[in-house]
Amino acid sequence: MGKKIVKAENISFRCKEIPLTRKELKNLLNHRIPCLCCGMEMLHPDIYIKLMENENLKGKAPEVIRLLEPYERIMHPVERQVFNMFKSLAVKYPDKNFQQLLIMKKEVHELALVKIQSGIFNKISFYRRILPKKIARQIRKLIIKTNDIIFTPEPYKPFSRRIFIHKIKGIVSHIESEKIREEILTIARRLPRSSDEVCAFVVKNARKRPEIIALNLIHPSVGTFEHLLPKCMKGQNNSLNFALECTYCNNSRHHYPIAVQIEENPYMPENAQIQVEKLISLCKKDLCKYEYVENLAKTLNDLSDGIINIEIKSLCS
């Protein structure tokens, strides 16, 4: 997909004064704010930090499940599926911790993951038939090396989706056809992530300490400050340029413009409207500021070329 670049000098902010301090913006997360992008309810980061300090997360699964159950409703879909798997396993194996339970399930999930990965590599390999010989050889070499990793039960270094995509991006950058470049990269990006597939979560996290596994079930739901205009494009570092997004959506966006984020999350305009309506309700309780909401709506509209067109008439009612 083509990455649309928005120039910082084309974006104007409605209010000149900073409407909310970082602390005030962060405090909004105490009021069950939905993520601007995915619409999932977010967790206040202070709650997450407090959980990080809880030594009981290292313990037996039943105790950890009791600690995490209050946050089950805000878990993202994959994490919730894994949590339910832990609840089922803990009934049969109450003396095991989260890592031990994942290790028990690792083999079957690893086979499922390899099946998905190898299918994607085969689709990429198909393009060798229509590519210049040098580029075709580079792809073949990378695929062979990668297959050696995923088909080895205990590889020296585990497969890294991020590194593979980085390498394939370097190879296809020499392809003249933009269409073919984007097709190959689109296929590569379908490689499972731990946030998208249960099998990838199990395989990735089975290597980690039990307390880290427990925290990873709720980490995607932690609320963050998302830069509406990325810092690399001279976006401001205050609430004039901040929106509240969950960690998952914030990390998934990287530095891409909002137009690209919407392409990958087609319900974002509706979810942005839902968040703004929640913020307006907080304004009426003097827990948020009207100027922040007005500026947020205007900035989202500008950066999305009007795709996100938020209705804020209720601000005045």
Q: Lowest-pLDDT range, 236-240, 253-257, 301-305?
A: 253-257
Query: Angle at which helices 61-68 and 77-92 pack, to 10 degrees?
Result: 140
Q: pTM to 2 decimals? A: 0.86
| pLDDT classification of 16: cutoffs 50, 70, 90 | low
**Averaged over 252-260, what is the pLDDT?**
86
Q: Indicate if the pLDDT at residue 305 is higher than 60.
A: yes
pLDDT of residue 232: 82
Q: Where in the chain are the domains?
A: 8-42+222-316, 45-220
By DSSP bridging, strand 242-246 and strand 223-227 are: antiparallel
Q: d(Cα 88, Cα 82) in Å, to the nearest integer? A: 10
| Per-residue pLDDT reduced to its tens digit, 66-115 | 999 999 999 999 999 999 999 999 999 999 999 999 999 999 999 999 99
Contact 34, 40 (CB under 8 A): yes
**Averaged over 244-271, what is the pLDDT?**
91
| Per-residue pLDDT reduced to its tens digit, 116-141 | 999 999 999 999 999 999 999 999 99
Q: Indicate if the pLDDT at residue 40 is higher than 90.
A: yes
Cβ atoms within 10 A of the Cβ of 131, count? Answer: 19
Contact 268, 250 (CB under 8 A): no
Pick the closest to residue 275 from 223, 230, 237 (CA basis). 223
| Per-residue pLDDT reduced to its tens digit, 163-213 | 999 999 999 999 999 999 999 999 999 999 998 999 999 999 999 999 999
| pLDDT classification of 156: cutoffs 50, 70, 90 | confident
Average pLDDT, the chain: 92
